[in-house]
Chains A and B, each alone.
Chain A
Amino acid sequence: MIINKSEVANLLSKLACEYRVIAPVGKNGLVEFAVLKNGEEPRLDYINTKKPGKEILFPQSEELFNYTVDAEGVRMQDNVDPQATVVFGMRPCDVKSLVLLDNVFKNDQYEDVYYLTRRNNTLIVGLGCNEPAATCFCSSIACGPFSKEGSDIFLTDIGEAYVVEGISEKGKELLAKLGLAEASEAAKAAAAKRQQEVKADATVNIEGLSAKLGGMFEHPFWDRLHEKCLGCGACTYLCPTCHCFDIADEATDCNGCRVRNWDACMFPLFTMHGSGHNPRPGGKARWRQRLLHKFNYFVDRYNATACVGCGRCIKNCPVNLDIRQALADVRALD
């Protein structure tokens, strides 16, 4: 199927009758995912949103439930969000990150009702990347600028129009209702050409990396990797696959709410014990954790690398600690 770019706004208005529509929009000089306001046009010419797509299903700060204490006891109100949602125009790396996060929020030990309720009520329209950035390395890591993994519907930008493909059953069902025109053979060929030809940096070699990292816990490599790290949370907060969180109660008098906030393994407090002992006392242990979690522990546990190559950590690190370089350095070790 196909949709002209000039018709996208109409399509989204139509979708907005039935769904909450979330799309990239320009805000405060940044491109961010937001609920589209009536008549607002999405920004679909972006490279990557500043904040990763994970925030749609796993917000930075999420009020899990509210509570009130009175003479009769405690009243609680759960804040599960079941609203049917369409995310329009998410890049393949961010879409892939949601597939990875599914492992964390739904596994044999735990099912997170907050994440999963959103997840099950959200339909993802992925948007291929015609021009990956120099910092993108998705083609290196089981993803790629036209990876359709995780998308329910997939868009390929062929200039004046998007070629639209139904990927999942859920996506195909929605497309059947929308009545879009069939794509011409020429349009399909143009899309196929893009999908085949556009590649991001594919030179980050992670083959065999997990096994190598698995034997490196005590390696002197970690002594220096972290040296320039300032210990901020820019890389983890802007990473689409980092998913650590902290839970805090925010209360005034007898009213409160339990909030889940993103947390980061780069912060000392993240691992601080009540006793004052900290098993990850410095940058060395924290950077080791960051790299091992993404490229070894996650692989062991879920058989996938917890990195999608979006390059946000590279772009946003205040000291240019480049994860591609860190991986290359590991590879170069004897």
Chain B
Amino acid sequence: MNVTKNIKETAKKLLADKKVDLVVGFAQGSLPLRSTPYFARTPEEAENLIWSATCENNLANFVRKRPEKVAVIAKGCDVRAIVGLIKEGQINKDNLTIIGVPCVGMVDRKQICELVGCKDILEVTDTGTELVLKGKDFEKTVAKADILFGSCKTCQYNTPVLFDELIGEAVPAREADYADIEAFEAMSAEERNAFIAKEMEKCIRCYACRQACPMCYCTECFVDCGAPAWIGKSAASVDDNALFQAVRVFHLAGRCVDCGACERACPMGIKLSLLNRKMVKDVKELFGAEAGVSLEDPPALNTFQFQDKEDFLL
């Protein structure tokens, strides 16, 4: 099935029939291995929509608090965020049409860059299961499955949990895999501290992680508050950088949909999802809860049940 073709047709029809005012999806980006969020308002513009292994952004960001009727081309993690946002009163489901697209994972530009010694990639051909990367003086073929984002390799919700229409074949769910977090947990406190400090040393406080996160939508983030200044504003302080991430993780407890958008957005290549996934794993173990997988589940931290574990209380 040609997913791109079907997306175009579906979007064109929705716009032509005036069912929606806007379709949010992806268009071809300006660089190889890049797609870019795209906003189609006419059937002609819908012709620019595409689907590929580079549609890495979480589009839930762009459908929050929209006044108009919107359709969104959404993969599994986008839909988890949308479900979370509907439950938090940020999206009116009546005004949103979800065009779900099952997703086997998006390819990670940073891993690909390392594979070719970070030389310029000038042309990429997608053969289905492989990418052929061409540069000025090299050509390399890589299996897509080997270069997926970490969050895609462990994704259990490849097929959207909620949709009005599904384009493409449903993808079977993977088994839960927290090997990365277990390895992190197995480290000593000193080792974990050293690891986090090394990562946070890279932070430039551009807040791309926060802005890319569909669930980070506070009108005023605590880091921006000047009175009281909860946190130092200087990026030179590794402790403050770590504090920013720590508070972000706590604020996302039971809300993080494990999409990895934060880590993908980070220009400095900080391994951010490790912290978030640790919280995701804890919430799952402690409360049996996962964010954004059902409209009915009560939010993990807004409910109390007698069987809730309390052994972490002092």
Contact = CB atoms under 8 A, between A and B. Distances in A.
Interface of A: 28-30, 50-51, 59-61, 131, 133-135, 224, 227-228, 230-234, 236-238, 246, 248, 250, 259, 261-262, 264, 267, 269, 314-316, 318-322, 324-325
B234 interface: yes
A50 B206 CA distance: 13
Given A133-B120, A232-B211, A314-B30, A28 B202 contact: yes
B115 to A, nearest CB: 14
A231 B213 CA distance: 12
Most chain B C-beta atoms within 10 Å of own C-beta, residue among A50, A131, A318, A321: A318
Interface string B210-243: 1110000000000010100100111111000000
Interface string B51-68: 000000100011000000
Interface string B155-192: 00000000000000000000000000000000000000
A50 B30 contact: no
Contact of B202 (A30, A224, A227, A325): A30
A320 B52 CA distance: 15
B36 A320 contact: yes
24 contacts: A28-B201, A60-B236, A131-B136, A135-B31, A227-B62, A228-B37, A228-B38, A231-B211, A233-B207, A233-B208, A234-B208, A234-B265, A238-B267, A248-B229, A248-B234, A261-B233, A318-B265, A320-B29, A320-B31, A320-B35, A321-B36, A322-B29, A322-B31, A325-B30
Most chain B C-beta atoms within 10 Å of own C-beta, residue among A59, A131, A231, A246: A231
A318 B198 CA distance: 22
B122 interface: yes
A251 B152 CA distance: 43
B118 to A, nearest CB: 8
B36 A319 contact: yes
B206 A228 contact: no
A145 to B, nearest CB: 14
B204 A60 contact: yes
A232 B221 CA distance: 13
Interface in B247-304: 264-265, 267-269
B236 A61 contact: yes
Contact of B30 (A227, A230, A259, A320): A320
Contact of A232 (B34, B120, B207, B234): B207
A318 B233 contact: no
B206 A232 contact: yes
Contacts of B237: 61
Contact of A248 (B36, B233, B269): B233
Contacts of B212: 230, 232, 318
A319 B36 CA distance: 6
Nearest to A28: B202
* Main SS class of interface, A: loop
Contacts of B34: 320
Contacts of A228: 36-39, 62
Contacts of A227: 37, 39, 62
Contact of A261 (B35, B208, B234): B234
Contacts of B211: 230-232, 318
A51 B204 contact: yes
Given A238-B267, A324-B30, A28 B198 contact: yes
Contacts of B37: 227-228, 319
B29 A134 contact: no
Contact of B235 (A133, A261, A264, A325): A261
B112 to A, nearest CB: 14
Given A28-B202, A228-B37, A50 B31 contact: no
B208 A318 contact: yes
Given A233-B204, A322-B31, 11 more contacts: A230-B265, A234-B265, A237-B205, A248-B229, A248-B232, A248-B233, A250-B229, A261-B233, A267-B207, A319-B57, A320-B30
Given A233-B208, A318-B208, A320-B30, A50 B235 contact: no
B269 A250 contact: no
